[in-house]
Amino acid sequence: MNLIKQLLRAPLSAQFGLLVILVYIVVAVFAPVLAPFGETQVVGEGFAPWGGQFVLGTDNLGRDMLTRLIYGARNTLGIAFLTTLLAFALGGLCGLIAAIKGGLIDQGLSRVVDILMAIPQLIFALLILSVVGTNATSLVLVIALLDATRVFRLSRAVAMNVVVQDFVEAARLRGEGLWWLVTREVLPNAAAPLIAEFGLRFCFVFLFISALSFLGLGIQPPTADWGSMVRDNAVLITFGDISPLLPALAVALITVSVNFVVDWMLHKSSGLKEC
């Protein structure tokens, strides 16, 4: 009940964002039920117009655009969410450990992260993916590794302000181990900015995967993906058809919605009152 009250008191932008996120989740989970055709099924001629049994027309190979959009939500969002989780598990944990242990461990991890962050992210991803191949597993691992560096910097910076508190020192004096300090003392007091960063980082990962797919190194065909859908159907813009813009709008809508929710969460965690 308390959660419902908080949602009802949230600003309209946050409520809109939560509604859009919920709709995307439902579409992603129930894609096989909602889609009128199979994900890779060729159902007509290429670039068929809107209307009839093809509500949004067909793509360059004759696959239903509405079906591809629905399955694109499952594939693109699912991979982005899994990648963000892995990045936070790796970068967040290393950042907390570096802040708690300090010394050589902190210096060693920080210098490795500095080296990785010195390389432009897109160029590094293109280089690695062109070497190891562009399957879903390599895509998740490469992007998670690159994003874990950003998460490491934030989690370490936040944890640095927590580890100097008296309750952490008291836990050390009690003889608590590293895992206790991470999970019971530091993480609960650093959770708010990390949760907000999770939402922002998800948007960055989501856009990054779409960009790689547009360049041909992201989610590979015939798997439906919004980035590759824009690339495959871009020629239609020349003829005044807005079909290639639909997956782009889907990307923009979820990005804006997540940012609305993150802004609200940051405002709540700051302790400021609504004007």
Residue 34 lies in a domain: yes
Residues of the chain predicted below pLDDT 70: 1-3, 269-275
Residue 210 lies in a domain: yes
Find out whether 246 and 69 touch, Cβ atoms under 8 Å.
Answer: yes
**Residue 68, domain extent:** 14-270
Q: What pLDDT sits at residue 271?
A: 54
CATH code for the domain in which residue 31 is found: 1.10.3720.10
Residue 6 lies in a domain: no
Q: What pLDDT sits at residue 275?
A: 46
Q: What pLDDT sits at residue 135?
A: 80
Q: What pLDDT sits at residue 127?
A: 84
Residue 2 lies in a domain: no
Number of domains present in the structure of the chain = 1
Q: Would you say the pTM of this structure is higher than 0.75?
A: yes
Q: What pLDDT sits at residue 195?
A: 84
Residue 123 lies in a domain: yes
Q: What pLDDT sits at residue 270?
A: 61
CA–CA gap between residue 50 and residue 136 (Å, rounded): 32
Q: What pLDDT sits at residue 19?
A: 93
Residue 108 lies in a domain: yes
pLDDT digits (tens, 9 = 90+) for 199-241: 888 888 888 888 888 888 888 888 888 888 888 888 888 888 8
Q: What pLDDT sits at residue 25?
A: 92
